[in-house]
Structure 1
C-alpha cells in the first residue's frame, strides 16, 4: 500500500525549542550553481571533494529532536545518523549552518551547505527541486494522555468511540486523521504549540493529544515528572492509505554519487534496528520509526 505524504507542518516542531538557537562559527559560503538546475558546479565529484577536505557542510533548523544544538554540539536524529554515515564514507566532520526551516532548500541550492540534516519530509513538491535519500525514519502518530489513561483510549478510532476530546496542533494533519477516524468536529481542540497540548491535558481541557510519537516522547522527556504518558504509536489510515510520514536527508540534484553512497551506508543502519535505536533512541526513536524496506523514495516522490 502506497504511503501518503501528508504530515503535520514541519515548522511546528520548532515550538519545542521556543525559537532558533545560535550556533557560533556558522558557515555562509556560496557556490556557483548551474543555471536552471539548482545543481552546484562540480556536484558530480562532490563525494571525492568531501573526502579530500574531511568535512561536509550540513544545514539544520534548530528543531528538536530532529536537528539542534545541545551544549554546543550538533545533536538530534538527523545529525547523529548523518555523522555515522559520513564517517563510514571517509568524511568524519559535520560543519553546521543554522537557518530557518523554510530556508533549508534555498540554502542548499545556493551552495551554503552540501546536505540538509533536519528530518525533512519527503514530498513530491520537494522532490522536484532536490534529491532525497531513502527514508531515515517514519513517524507514526501517537496519543499523549493523563497518567493512567483514564479514558481508556488507544488510537483516534477509540477516541471517537468514547467521545474523547482530542487536541491537535494548528494546521497539522492530525486534525484530518481525527476526522477520518470519526472524531466529531466539536471534540477536536486546536492548539498553538506542543507545550500547549501537555498543559491542556493536565488542566483537563482535552482527553488526548495527537501528534507523532517522536515528538510526544520528546515532549514528555522535556517535561519530566508531568503526570502524562505516551501511548503506543499507530499508523492512521485516510481513504484507505496508511500515513507513514517519512523523512530523509536532502542533496542537490547533481549530487547523485554522494546520495547513492549515502543510501548504501544508511541501509546498513536502518537494516539493523538494534543499531538504529542505539544511535538515536535517546531522541525518542524506536524500532517503530525504522522505515519499512518496501517504503522507497522513488515511490514517495511519485506521489
Structure 2
C-alpha cells in the first residue's frame, strides 16, 4: 500500500460538548431510508435500539473524528454512524463526551452502546471490545513549531534528535514512539489535541504525534505551528496505517455484524463515502481497501 497524500480540511476544532442530549448530524440522516437487515433483525440489542429510537454513542471531542460545534454533534464517526444506524432503523444518536482513554472502560461498563471516535483498531483493544470493519485509514504526522527548528520528519529523526514528543492519552502513537526506540522519559502524555498543540507552543514538548488528518485540522486554529508530511510508522516490523472503526461491547456481535453490513455499502461506494465525509477532510485516500480486515488487524 502506498503512502497517502496530504488532505485538506475545513472548519475548526471545537472543545465544547453537549452530554446526554439527542443530537442529529446534519445531512447524515435525511439522505437514507430505513433498511431491514437479517443480520440484526432478531437481535435483542438492535430491537431495543429500534424501539427506543436512539443509540448511545461516546465521542472524545477530537475533531475531525467526533466533536460538537454549536451544540451539534459532528465528525467522521458520528456522520457515518448516523447514516448506518438510520439504515438499521435507529433514527438518532444520543452522545456522551468522554476522555479518549475512558472510552473503552465506559463501553465495558454499559454507559453507551458504541464508541464513535475514530478509534484505531489494535490487538490490545480487540481483547476488550468488538470492532467494526475499518471505517478509514490514516497515516501519521508530527506537529512542530513553524520552520521545524529540530528538523523532525518522522519518529526515527525524533529519536536521533533526542527531542521530547507528546502523544495523546490512550492513543496508539505512544506504542509507535516506543517501537521507534524513543525512551519513555522523552514521551509526554497529553489529554487532548489542543493540549498537544499548546505543549508544542509552550516548549514543553518539541513535537506532537497524531494522525495527519487530525493534526492538519488542529493546525487551522494554531497558525504558529506546522505539520510534517505524513509517514507510515512500523510496529513489530509491520506498517501501521491507523485504521479506525466503531467499537461495541463484547457479546454484541449481532449488532456489530448488522453495522458492518451497512458500513460495507458505504466504503465500497467512493461517491457515497466522499460525499458523506468530505466536510471532515476525508477523501478517497481514506477509504479502507476491501482486503483490510479487522480480524487481521486484531492479530497484529
TM-score, normalised to structure 2, is 0.69
Structure-2 change in CA distance of 1:129 and 1:168 (3 Å): closer
How far apart, in 2, do the equivalents of 1:131 and 1:124 lie? 11
- Looking at structure 1, the residues matched to 156 and 138 of structure 2 have their Cα atoms a distance apart, in angstroms, of 18
Aligned position for 1:276: 273
SS of 1:258's equivalent? helix
Counterpart in 1 of 2:66?
67
> Which piece of structure 1 moves more, 210-219 or 125-134?
125-134
Corresponding residue number in structure 2 for 1:23: 19
Give 1:115 shift.
Answer: 2.5
Equivalent of residue 224 in structure 2, options 216, 224, 227: 227
Question: 1:127 maps to what in 2?
Answer: 126
Contact 1:164–1:208 under 8 Å retained in 2:
no
What is the SS of the residue equivalent to 2:119?
Answer: strand
Please list every run of 5 or more consecutive structure 1 residues that lacks an aligned counterpart in the other structure. 2-15, 28-41
Provide the rounded CA distance (Å) in 2 between the counterparts of 1:290 and 1:229. Answer: 25
Matches within 5 A, 1:1-303: 21-23=17-19, 25=21, 44-51=43-50, 53=51, 55-65=53-63, 66-99=65-98, 101=100, 104-105=103-104, 107-108=106-107, 111-147=110-146, 154-159=153-158, 163=161, 165=163, 167-169=165-167, 174=173, 177-178=176-177, 180-181=179-180, 188=186, 190=188, 192=190, 194-195=193-194, 197-199=196-198, 201-202=200-201, 208-223=207-222, 226-303=223-300
Report if aligned partners of 1:166, 1:210 keep a CA contact under 8 Å in 2: no
TM-superposed CA distance for 1:87, in Å, is 2.1
User: Which stretch shifts more, 73-82 or 152-161?
Assistant: 152-161
Contact 2:20–2:95, Cα closer than 8 Å, also in 1:
no
SS at match of 1:268: helix
> What do residues 201-226 of structure 1 show as CA deviations (whole Å, max 9, x unaligned)?
55677664322213212311233xx1
Query: Shift of residue 57 of structure 1?
Result: 1.6
Query: 2:95 aligns to what SS in structure 1?
Result: strand
Residue-by-residue CA offset, 1:129-151 (whole Å, 9 max, x unaligned): 44221122234210224445566
Q: Is the 8 A contact 1:167 1:188 kept in 2?
A: yes
Instruction: Name the CA distance, whole Å, in 1 between partners of 2:61 and 2:296.
Output: 27
Measured on the aligned residues, the alpha-carbon RMSD in Å equals 3.9
Contact 1:44 1:256 in 2 (8 A): no
- The 8 Å contact of residues 144 and 228 in structure 1, kept in 2 or not, is answered as yes
Kept in 2, the 8 Å contact 1:44–1:254? The answer is no
Q: Specify the structure having the higher radius of gyration (Cα).
A: 1
Distance in 2, matches of 1:131 and 1:206, equals: 34
Go from structure 1 to structure 2 and tell me whether the alpha carbon gap of 1:116 and 1:55 turns closer, same or farther (over 3 Å shift): farther
Provide the C-alpha distance between the structure 2 equivalents of 1:288 and 1:166, rounded to a whole number of angstroms. 31
Partner in structure 2 of residue 10 of structure 1: none
Structure 2: give runs of 5+ residues left out of the alignment: 2-12, 24-40
Distance 1:204 1:111 in 2: 40
- Superposed displacement of residue 78, structure 1: 1.3
Residue 105 (structure 1) shift: 4.5
Question: What displacement does 1:265 show?
Answer: 1.6
Give SS of 1:137's match. coil
